[in-house]
Chain A
């Protein structure tokens, strides 16, 4: 099979990268990472609101940021947005369908464990290696 270099130069497979778009993608990823850390540092849970679980809201905001960042990475850095073959996108997204099935079945198990037979809640031969320290400080300092 003969292939000339000229022919290859003309026929570029795949999409063409745009430096401007790459720059914007990078800037938006850094912004979202900063936003995620910002949500973490913001003491939202101390607000005087008791009808809403603010800690859960904070967690959802942080995980929401990481979801958007993941979508940007998959779309632009992995090039899923430019894929001309739909099969590749189907392969990628089918994974999440399987993960969802895994999540639902495991959640069903965890949430209902011990309801039918309480013996399922018992830990068998379980010994924790943790030595409980009753005088421990409730706010430990971070270790680098």
Chain B
């Protein structure tokens, strides 16, 4: 690593200096976060209304989910968020080795989350707990039981897609770090990827109780 010189970051021509570039990128990221919150916020509020309208569906659907797997996924995401923040912290110190270690750890936790989700989905498919008209689960006494599983698949599926995108961002940051692109003064990509991953955490912190705990 020592043999590789620190890469100087070229500030784009339409910015006056590095700080202005950083602030502009961050503003763009926060606007993106805003659009994501509106989307997931509407989904979560919709879930609360479904709980209000069809409490029987949630009461019968929720016990079919294993809260232990949900809690394990919460641990994976929180730890991934922590290691991602550590990666950004090490980027400020320009410690490429530690950046890469923490990014790989975050990637592993993200991968662990997706593995657990796959196990959960597989079991639901096996038991016919599919969304919409494809639902053919047995042992229900509520006509709205399929509503819960429709909501479960839409919300967790959209969230899992965001986890996958977040992992893609981590791989990108890993490549940049391998090229020694992060310096004490330039670490914008890893900072923004960290904000994105924290958003993924944030969404799960509402989906987990709504689906696994309060139904």
List A residues at the B interface (Cβ < 8 Å): 1, 3-5, 8-14, 16-19, 22, 25-26, 29-30, 33, 36-37, 39-40, 58-59, 62-63, 65-66, 69-70, 73-74, 76-79, 85, 87-88, 91-92, 94-96, 98-99, 102-103, 106-107, 110, 128-134, 136-137, 139-144
The answer to whether A8 and B38 touch across the interface, beta carbons within 8 angstroms, is no
Complex CA gap A69/B13 in Å reads 40
Asked if A144 meets B119 with Cβ closer than 8 Å, knowing A22-B82, A88-B26, the reply is yes
Query: Least Cβ distance of A79 to chain B in Å?
Result: 7
The answer to whether A132 and B143 touch across the interface, beta carbons within 8 angstroms, is yes
The answer to whether A33 and B18 touch across the interface, beta carbons within 8 angstroms, is no
Asked if A3 meets B10 with Cβ closer than 8 Å, knowing A13-B18, A91-B30, the reply is yes
The answer to whether A1 and B11 touch across the interface, beta carbons within 8 angstroms, is yes
Residues 52-94 of chain B, each 1 if its beta carbon lies under 8 Å from chain A, else 0: 1100000010011111010100110011011011101100100
The answer to whether A12 and B92 touch across the interface, beta carbons within 8 angstroms, is yes
Task: Give the total number of A-B pairs whose CB atoms are below 8 A apart.
Answer: 213
The answer to whether A13 and B120 touch across the interface, beta carbons within 8 angstroms, is no
The answer to whether B183 and A92 touch across the interface, beta carbons within 8 angstroms, is no
Residues of A within 8 A of B63 (CB): 139-142
Residues of A within 8 A of B9 (CB): 3, 8
The answer to whether A5 and B145 touch across the interface, beta carbons within 8 angstroms, is no
Question: Lowest 5 CB-CB distances: which A-B pairs, in order?
Answer: A17-B89, A8-B185, A13-B22, A77-B198, A26-B82
Residues of A within 8 A of B64 (CB): 140, 142-143
Complex CA gap A39/B212 in Å reads 13
The answer to whether A136 and B140 touch across the interface, beta carbons within 8 angstroms, is yes
Query: Least Cβ distance of B139 to chain A in Å?
Result: 4
The answer to whether A62 and B205 touch across the interface, beta carbons within 8 angstroms, is no
9 sampled A-B residue pairs with Cβ under 8 A: A11-B17, A17-B92, A40-B209, A85-B27, A129-B135, A132-B143, A134-B141, A139-B63, A143-B127
Q: Which chain A residue has the least Cβ–Cβ distance from B66?
A: A142
Asked if A3 meets B205 with Cβ closer than 8 Å, knowing A16-B92, A33-B75, A33-B78, the reply is no
Complex CA gap A73/B78 in Å reads 9
List B residues at the A interface (Cβ < 8 Å): 6, 8-11, 13, 17-19, 22-23, 26-27, 30-31, 33-34, 37-38, 41-42, 45, 49, 52-53, 60, 63-67, 69, 71, 74-75, 78-79, 81-82, 84-86, 88-89, 92, 119-120, 123-124, 127, 129, 132-146, 183-186, 188, 191, 194-195, 198-199, 201-202, 205-206, 208-209, 212-214
Beyond the given pairs A3-B11, A3-B17, 7 more chain A to chain B contacts, judged by CB atoms under 8 angstroms and listed by A's residue number, are A17-B88, A77-B82, A87-B30, A91-B31, A99-B42, A129-B136, A140-B139
The answer to whether A14 and B33 touch across the interface, beta carbons within 8 angstroms, is no
The answer to whether B201 and A77 touch across the interface, beta carbons within 8 angstroms, is yes
The answer to whether B22 and A128 touch across the interface, beta carbons within 8 angstroms, is no
Query: Least Cβ distance of B46 to chain A in Å?
Result: 8
Residues of A within 8 A of B45 (CB): 99, 102-103, 106
Residues of A within 8 A of B53 (CB): 110
Residues of A within 8 A of B185 (CB): 8-13
Residues of A within 8 A of B85 (CB): 17, 22, 25, 76-77
Asked if A8 meets B75 with Cβ closer than 8 Å, knowing A102-B45, A143-B129, the reply is no
Asked if A69 meets B138 with Cβ closer than 8 Å, knowing A142-B66, A143-B65, the reply is no
Query: Least Cβ distance of A13 to chain B in Å?
Result: 4
